[in-house]
A and B are shown apart, each in its own frame.
Chain A
């Protein structure tokens, strides 16, 4: 077999693999949308469920999903960006930074059910937060922290060294250099990481079912338990309550994630255009 032929076969296989993954993804999304969308109506979005979800809408679950996701971001974004700034701008590579990096990387590989159990034992039981928005958000925050740190670190490292030199040369303190030059330049990359993390948080089931609970009421404070769309979907399907409503919930969840991604992309494009970078 000639090298050329071998190359062609390899490329063909790569194409086939890519095509296969893409079609599986499209198939899943299309299947859920086709089965779910016909049941989605304005009242489905805006009403509370009745009879365990067999009828009515999913408004509390939509609210729960967004509140938990945003809560996780409120906790994880400052921590994550702060850590990334510390690791890139305030330390030289050392034993300590490699330990921190190893830690975050390991955290990224931990299955979400483990986060759920940890959250249950630590936040829910030990700190007596019970099933609540607070416990769920904290657990999700821990889960998405590595993603935010890693993407922010990469974005910050990609900022040209010459920008830092110029900033110091004009008399900036390190903090001024970070806020006036590094963060604005790294912003699109940092935002991308935040969106990715938010997407993960919004779709998460295992980490929140033990920490935020499964309550179907509209939450009144951060100590209220909530049910997310993903959990609602899971319970409706597993307990055989209503497959129709399960697919409808899934469809809303998928569209929510898509909308978040599209909105974020527009934001990022605007941020890039404003500074004149290509």
Chain B
């Protein structure tokens, strides 16, 4: 197993709230790793640490390190804008920006100053194809993104990330607000995408993690309790707290 993202002894506090405590976690390339656990266990903070979004909080205190391909993301010469395009995040609620479908998909490229029409058109088609939305919107690319259904909006957000050619996708409960059919579509898309991307998924519930992921990490109270293959974690957990959670005894 070649680990790609290494989280080493990571602790994160916001003022007096300890959001992550001494987390160690290895994430392999081109697999789906699901990070699951009850609410407030630090899943979102972990994701936001990997693209350094936690730094938007004025009260942040961090210790420990995260490396991608062996290099720390906290080195002073790292450009957070470049990092965030390489490690792209999709949020729990669909968050299209109030612009057209087309403008949404190229939003990241526009920020980078890309003006070449052909390049932009190509990335729009690539992103929407990969997010399984192209056929539904190809004839209405200039309609407002807010005119799409919830499931379509979430796939648009996925397309917006994919249009940047990221290496890593952070999916924070991307189906939490969607109906079962849209959820199934997104799950299918995730499995197709893992040959090209490394995916970290906070599942909508742990059954989703079991369905689509290769590896699973159980979080509780800001600690990474246990990590292993999906079949090991969900059928033979070593830690009693993991067992309680996956057998539905709490949470």
Contact = CB atoms under 8 A, between A and B. Distances in A.
Interface of A: 92, 162-163, 165-173, 176, 180-181, 184-185, 275-277
A165 B51 CA distance: 12
A173 to B, nearest CB: 7
A171 B93 contact: no
Interface stretch (B19-27, B83-91, B220-228): B83-91
Interface stretch (B104-112, B130-138, B197-205, B236-244): B104-112
A276 B89 contact: no
Interface string B23-44: 0000000000000000000000
Interface stretch (B60-68, B140-148, B186-194): B140-148
A181 B96 CA distance: 11
B99 interface: yes
Nearest to A273: B144
A185 B97 CA distance: 9
Those 3 A-B pairs whose CB atoms lie nearest each other, nearest first: A276-B144, A171-B81, A275-B98
Given A171-B112, A276-B100, 5 more contacts: A169-B84, A171-B82, A171-B83, A275-B146, A276-B146
B111 A165 contact: no
B58 interface: yes
A169 B170 CA distance: 11
A165 B91 contact: yes
Given A166-B91, A180-B110, A276-B147, A185 B58 contact: no
A173 B97 CA distance: 17
A154 B56 CA distance: 22
B89 A169 contact: yes
Nearest to A162: B95
Contacts of B53: 165, 168-169
B54 to A, nearest CB: 11
B164 interface: yes
Contacts of A184: 98-99
A contact face: mostly helix, strand, loop, or mixed: helix
Contacts of B160: 170
A168 B84 contact: yes
Contacts, number: 68
A168 B56 contact: yes
Contacts of A167: 97, 107
A172 B112 CA distance: 8
Contacts of B81: 171-173
A171 B108 contact: yes
B85 A170 contact: yes
A162 to B, nearest CB: 5
A176 B110 CA distance: 10
B95 A185 contact: no
A108 B89 CA distance: 43
Contacts of A181: 97
Nearest to A275: B98
Given A163-B97, A184-B98, A170 B111 contact: yes
Contact of A170 (B58, B98, B99, B164): B164
A184 B97 CA distance: 11
A181 B80 CA distance: 19
A14 B164 CA distance: 57
A91 B94 CA distance: 28
B170 to A, nearest CB: 9
B88 to A, nearest CB: 7
Contacts of A168: 53, 56, 84
A119 B56 CA distance: 42
A169 B164 CA distance: 12
A277 B145 CA distance: 10
Nearest to B170: A169
A181 B108 CA distance: 12
A176 B160 CA distance: 17
Contacts of B100: 276
Nearest to A177: B111
B68 to A, nearest CB: 15
A276 B144 CA distance: 5
B168 to A, nearest CB: 13
A275 B145 CA distance: 9
22 contacts: A92-B58, A163-B95, A165-B91, A165-B95, A166-B97, A169-B84, A170-B84, A170-B85, A170-B160, A171-B83, A171-B85, A180-B107, A180-B110, A184-B98, A184-B99, A185-B98, A275-B144, A275-B146, A276-B144, A276-B145, A276-B147, A277-B98
Interface string B69-87: 0000000000011111100
Contacts of A276: 98, 100, 143-147
Contact of B107 (A92, A162, A170, A275): A170
A79 B164 CA distance: 36
Contacts of B143: 276
Contacts of A163: 95, 97-98
Interface in B100-156: 100, 107-108, 110-112, 143-147
